Amino acid sequence: MFEQKGILFVLSGPSGVGKGTVRQRLFEQDTNLKYSISMTTRQRRPGERDGIDYFYKSEEEFLHLIEQNKLLEYAQYVNNYYGTPRDYVEQQLALGNDVFLEIEVQGALQVKKNFPNGVFIFLFPPSLEELKNRIVNRGTESIELVRNRLKEAKKEIDMMSAYDYVVVNDHVDRAVEKVKAIIASEHCKRERIEKQYKKVMEDELNAGTFD
């Protein structure tokens, strides 16, 4: 019997492309996915739960985990650290669960360096003009900040070659269907099935099943 390990799926793309919306819609449709819970050094807010919203650590604990290579990626933002814990991801994968990580491009490239067996999906805007409109329509950023975000987006789009798949987010439901198709396709890859098949056959031969 095949007991295939889970797969780490990483969704990223430039700010404003709609990563959070696509991830949320995907999770409404696919309840088998496990969301990668981040780790942080910031104070817990009212109502937040450790191991549900975040894994909460002291700065000393967080820096120690960095030294031990226990984070797939991390960054510092407004005097607090945020990162993706390796142990949680690997435990879920070992249980056969697919883990889904939604993250910025720089973080995704860190994950690829530390966990190259993941599947990396780049969410692409229909056009830079559409991306600009989405950022402007947030109504929370100055014109100068919008310009800076677009400059950064162009740099991030140039990093697309580091990814396995590209999904154009011209419509949320279409983008979600494409991500679901990628997930199904990855589970049918010959390399994954063949590796597991050989292991099962070896175990059965060692147990004398065919004697």
- Across the range 156-173, mean pLDDT stands at 94
User: Which of 106, 101, 94, 89 lies closest to 179, judged by CA?
Assistant: 101
Whether 202 shows a pLDDT value over 80: the answer reads: no
CATH of region 1-33+98-211, choose from 3.40.50.10190, 2.160.10.10, 3.40.50.300, 3.40.50.1000: 3.40.50.300
User: Which of 106, 99, 47 lies closest to 77, judged by CA?
Assistant: 106
DSSP state of 169: -
Domain edges within the chain: 1-33+98-211, 37-96
Decide: residue 192, CB within 10 A, 0-12 exposed, 13-18 middle, 19+ buried: middle
What are the pLDDT digits (tens) for 33-60?
999 999 999 999 899 999 988 999 999 9
What is the pLDDT at residue 141? 64
Say which residue, 30 or 112, is predicted with more confidence.
112
The model's pTM: 0.84
What are the pLDDT digits (tens) for 190-199?
888 887 777 7
Whether 125 shows a pLDDT value over 70: the answer reads: yes
Q: How many CB atoms lie under 10 A from the CB of residue 153?
A: 21
Confidence category of residue 29, pLDDT binned at 50, 70, 90: very high
Separation of alpha carbons 6 and 196, rounded Å: 12
- Low-confidence winner among 35-39, 137-141, 158-162 (lowest mean pLDDT): 137-141
Q: Are 157 and 46 in contact (CB under 8 A)?
A: no
> In the CATH hierarchy, which fold is given to the domain comprising 37-96?
Guanylate Kinase phosphate binding domain (3.30.63)
- Across the range 59-80, mean pLDDT stands at 94
